[in-house]
Every structure is written in C-alpha cells, then in structure tokens.
Amino acid sequence: MAKTAKTQAATAGTAYQLLPVIGPSGGMDLRTSPTLIPPDRARSLVNFTLTEPGALVVRPGHLAFSTSSLGSGRIQGAQRVYLNTALPSANSTIFTIVGFSGSLYVQSDSGGWPTSAATAVLTGLSTATELSFPSDRDLVAVFDGVNLPKKSTNGSSWTRFGIAPSAVGPTLSSQSSGAMTAGTYDITFTYKDRDLGTESNGSSTSAAVVIAGSTGAIRVVATNSTDLQVDAIVVYAMKTSAGETVRRRASSQAQSAGTDSTIVLTSTTWTTNDEEPTDHTVPPVLSFGVVWKNRWWARPATITNRLHFTQLFQPQSWPALFYIDMPFERGDAIQALVPLGDALLVFGTTKIFIIIGQTSLDFEVRPTIASQDGALGFRSVAVLENGVVHAGGAGIWIFDGTTDKLLSFELEPAWRDLVKNASVTALAKVALVYHEHQKELRVAIPRRFPSGTDGEFVLDLNQTRTTQQSAWSATPRTIGGYVLWDGPETQAGNRGRLFSWHSSMAQLFEESVGTSANSSNLVAEYEGPALTLGTFRGRWNDCRIEYEPHAGTFAVEPLVDGFTLGSQTVGIAGGGAEYGTAEYGVDTYGGGFSRKQAYVLFPLT
C-alpha cells in the first residue's frame, strides 16, 4: 500500500544563506534575470570601471576642454589633423578642426578659439549633415554631402578641393616677331596651384590661330581664375597643320593681376613633352571618405552605392570613370569605409565588401560570406587591434577580415530597444572609438536602456581577455562623437588624449580625467545578483561591505520583487583621521588608506 502523504513542519536554517559578490569584473548582463546572474556580473553598472577586479571603482571623470561654447546645437564633426608630420618638428602642422552650424573652427590645444568671437575659418557648409574630414600628410578636406568639397594645408585657409578648368578658351592673335614656323596651331590653357603642384584640365574650349611666315609668334590671352589657390597659368599647344594630335606644354607663368593674363609663344620647341591633363577632374559632391593605397576614396552624395577614387598620388584629381559600383543587394548603400592593410572594408547597412589591393594599381572587389551586419553610419566603425568593430542594426560586432563575432550579446535587450525606438537619423550618428590608453571601446548612443536617454556603452578589453566574455559597463553621458589625439604629437603628454562633443552644445570635453562630471558629482550605480526562494518566504537581514576610505558618499538600496526598501547611506570617509591628512604632533601620518568594513541592517518590513 502506498504511503500516506504527511505535512512537514517548516524548518529554519541555523546559518545565513549568503549571496557572495566578488565584484562585477565580468561586466553587465542585461539578458539574464537578477536571480540567475553569477556573482561576477552586474545587472546595472553605470559609471563604474572594471580596471580593478573584485572592487567597485568609480571610473575617471570628464572636464570641459573648450573655454566656451560656440552655441546651442550639435557639433557636426571634429577631427585631430596631422600635416607634414613624417618627423615631428617645427614644420609640423597639428590642429583640431570643429564643424558647427555650417562653419569650421580651429580649437586651440589650450581649449580656446581663435578670437573671443570664435571666428570661423570656413563658412557656407551644410547646417544639417555630418561633416567628414579625411586627410593625408599634405592636406585635409571637408565633405558635407551637399556642397563641393573644400581643402586646407594649414587649417586656417580653405579653398576648393581640385581646380576647375576655365569655361572660356584663350584669345589668340599672331605676332610678327618670333621663331614659330608657318602653320595652324591649336591652343588651350590650364590653371595651376604651384604650392601643391595641382593643375586643372585644359580650358573647356580651345582656339586656333594661323601663322603665315617663319618668324612669327602667338599672343595668348587667358582669363584669370577667381579660385584663390590658383597662382599660375600653363599654356598647351599643338601644330595641327603638322599632324600633331596632342597638345603639349608650351609655356607657363604666374597669373597676372587683373582679369586676364597674357603669354607670348615665340618658339615651336615646347618647354616639355608633358601632355595636356585630361583626367584632373574635380570631385563631385562627397559625403565621407578615407585615404588608402596612395589614393583618396569617397562615397558621393547622390549615387550611394558608388565609390569614387583618385589618380595615384594625386588627391585632387578624380577622373570621371574612376569609380566602383558596389554590388549591394536590396538597394543597400555604402555606410562606412575602413582601410585595413591591403584591404579596404566597405560597409553597407547589412553587408560588408572587401576591396583587395596588393599594389596601388590593381584592385579586386570581394563579398564577405561570414559578415553578419553592416554599419549605421561612417562614425559607427573603429579599428580595434586586429579587427574592425562596427555597430549595425543587429548589434556591435568585430570583423577580423573573414568573420563577424558578436560583442553585444550581453546587451541584446538594450540594442533592440535602441534600434526599435531611435530614428534612422539618430542611429546614423552612433559613434565608436577605441581608446588605446585605457584599453576601452566606447559606443555613444542616443538611447540607453532602460533610461531611454542618451548614454554610452564601454567595453573593457583587459577584462574581456581575462574573463573570456564581453565586459561591458555604461555611462549616462550625452555624447555626439569623439576626437582622439592618436598621431605624432609634438607636445609631451598629448598623445592618447580623448575628447568628445556634446549632442546639444558646441563644446569639447576631455574624457578619462579628474574625479568629477565636469565639477559636478559623478554618480555611479551598481545593481548585482539577487536571491530567489521560489514559493518560500524569506527575510534578508543585512549586508556587509568592505571599503577603502575615500571622499564621496555610498548608499545601499535593497529591492524585493522590484520594490525598494529604502536607501541607506554608508559613511565611507572613515569617520576619523585618515592617513596623509592628519598630524600627530608635528609629523604627518604616512600615505595610504587601510580597508574598513561597514554593516547595514535592512528594515524588518
């Protein structure tokens, strides 16, 4: 016969049921319920750093770098630019360029602007689009996707990127004093910037002239260019009556004052055999670009799956047929470009293509079979050691040239919330940066779960290697983008500094400095694992804390079934004299703090 079921009296253990917390060294995990989170993980980890495993350490703060704000509104782009810096010297030109409200400003290394009125070095750009600042060792350009690109060699003077040819051909007349033989001549001219060695194509229309005798000359009148970078006129000629089919360089001189320049050709012995340039075409309107394999590469504003590139070693020459149409599927568009060794990664919205270039002369476009996602915008990519991190619609990934690996597995609820609720325009402004000095990947987003406001996710690379899992934390920062000083800085202490700009004020802030939030309290939040009793009732009595005395405040707030039982403050200052600050007789105690313990009794209710 089966045994009869009997009730059993409830018993209580004689010892505490402990919930050990060994420190959030594993970072946040938003996918797992609090009762299943392991003791080295956190449900919420805001403004805490993972640099010291086994402890809650508040991350370094941030301070305003710009001495003043240019105004309310978002900075459209900023970049640290290094020109002529093969060997850091007095000839190096290093500056920080900032784009705001359709104008460009140079931010000094001390945080000031050029004048008290913050005079712009360039105006007339789009006020609504993001600004891209590709650069090589000689010049930096600005692309806004609306206007023709501009360029500068010093940050303060900006001219057109490329030189447009004259739409009017030269005016020719024969002269009697010279050594030119009889015949018919065809002549054009180009504009030239002697400083950079840049030259335009030939004038749009050519002119012909006939010399009757054997001692003639040709007077060439060329319309001057209004482009400030042009300082010379180059004349090209050919003798069509002698069967010549290519115009060659005949003479050049500085552009004269006034509206026209006059050049007299007296000999058919051309100065060089240089042919008239025909591929020095000015670039179209461009949205963003990079420099790779001794060429500039950029996406145009209109045909968004097209990638234009320049002539070899000629950044201002964009031949009309020098482009690649990326074979994207489903109407995709180029979202970002990342040079990586012999490969140029081309990110679409959902796919990655690779352009392989073993030399600067031959290129091959290859699809990636194992790429899982694309990029949200041209700032949502960052080179991280041996791979490229890219933020796409499905998460944050690292691409090693062959396959994608998901880094944001622990952040899935937050990323789904972001993509679902943020606008396409806002998502396109998601910014990534790898701060090598702190070994942190930082991701600025317009919506952080669960707050629903601006924020930032931070991946600690050291802890990720140690724990073999993505070690994420968060900040409540309102960041529009980053500026990293990662080039050949000439001033000691400058290399590795990281700056950010606010999403609603035109001002730069320096990251990972100080202990405050720009002179305000830096509030850090940690929510760890929890106990579960199933169908039983239980009582949580207390918690014990070990701390190192420091300034600031610390509070404990227990939650039961999501309801708070109130917050209790723990005096972490130590309550007495601290080493290094108190005097004994005439001597000061030695440096260093001892650790202490605190006991917090929870409410019985």
How many Cβ atoms from other residues are within 10 Å of residue 155's Cβ?
19
The dihedral through the CA atoms of 153, 99, 110, 492 has a sign that is negative
Question: According to the model, what pLDDT value does residue 544 have?
Answer: 87
Residues facing residue 159 across a β-bridge? 151
Question: According to the model, what pLDDT value does residue 63 have?
Answer: 97
Please report the DSSP string for 207-236 in residue order: EEEEE-SSSEEEEEEEEPP--TT--EEEEE
Question: According to the model, what pLDDT value does residue 590 have?
Answer: 47
The enclosing H or E element of 45 equals strand 44-46
Query: Which amino acid is present at 117?
Result: A
Residue ranges of the chain with per-residue pLDDT less than 50: 87, 576, 578, 589-591
Question: According to the model, what pLDDT value does residue 308 have?
Answer: 98
How far apart are the C-alpha atoms of 186 and 160, rounded to whole Å? Answer: 29
Question: According to the model, what pLDDT value does residue 529 have?
Answer: 86
Question: According to the model, what pLDDT value does residue 578 have?
Answer: 47
How far apart are the C-alpha atoms of 192 and 164, rounded to whole Å? Answer: 10
245: left (phi over 0), alpha (psi -120 to 50) or beta: alpha
How many Cβ atoms from other residues are within 10 Å of residue 516's Cβ?
13
Cα pseudo-dihedral 367, 370, 376, 378, rounded to 10 = -50
Question: According to the model, what pLDDT value does residue 487 have?
Answer: 93
Query: Which amino acid is present at 16?
Result: Y
How far apart are the C-alpha atoms of 576 and 601, rounded to whole Å? Answer: 22
Q: What does the block give as tokens for 489?
A: 């800085």
How far apart are the C-alpha atoms of 40 and 182, rounded to whole Å? Answer: 92
Question: According to the model, what pLDDT value does residue 2 have?
Answer: 57
Per-residue b or e along 365-388, where b marks 16 or more CB atoms closer than 10 Å to that residue's CB = eeebeebbbbbbbbbbbbebeebb
> Contact at 8 Å (CB) between 589 and 582?
yes
Question: According to the model, what pLDDT value does residue 213 have?
Answer: 83
Question: According to the model, what pLDDT value does residue 591 have?
Answer: 47
Q: Note the pLDDT tens digit of each residue in 403-448.
A: 999 999 999 999 999 999 999 999 999 999 999 999 999 999 999 9
How far apart are the C-alpha atoms of 56 and 68, rounded to whole Å? Answer: 34
Q: What does the block give as tokens for 363?
A: 């290129």
Q: How far is the first Cα of the chain from the last one, in angstroms, to the nearest whole number?
A: 47
How far apart are the C-alpha atoms of 277 and 273, rounded to whole Å? Answer: 12
How many Cβ atoms from other residues are within 10 Å of residue 73's Cβ?
15
Q: What does the block give as tokens for 277?
A: 């340039």
Contacts of residue 392, Cβ cutoff 8 Å, sequence gap at least 6: 349, 350, 372, 373, 374, 375, 376, 380
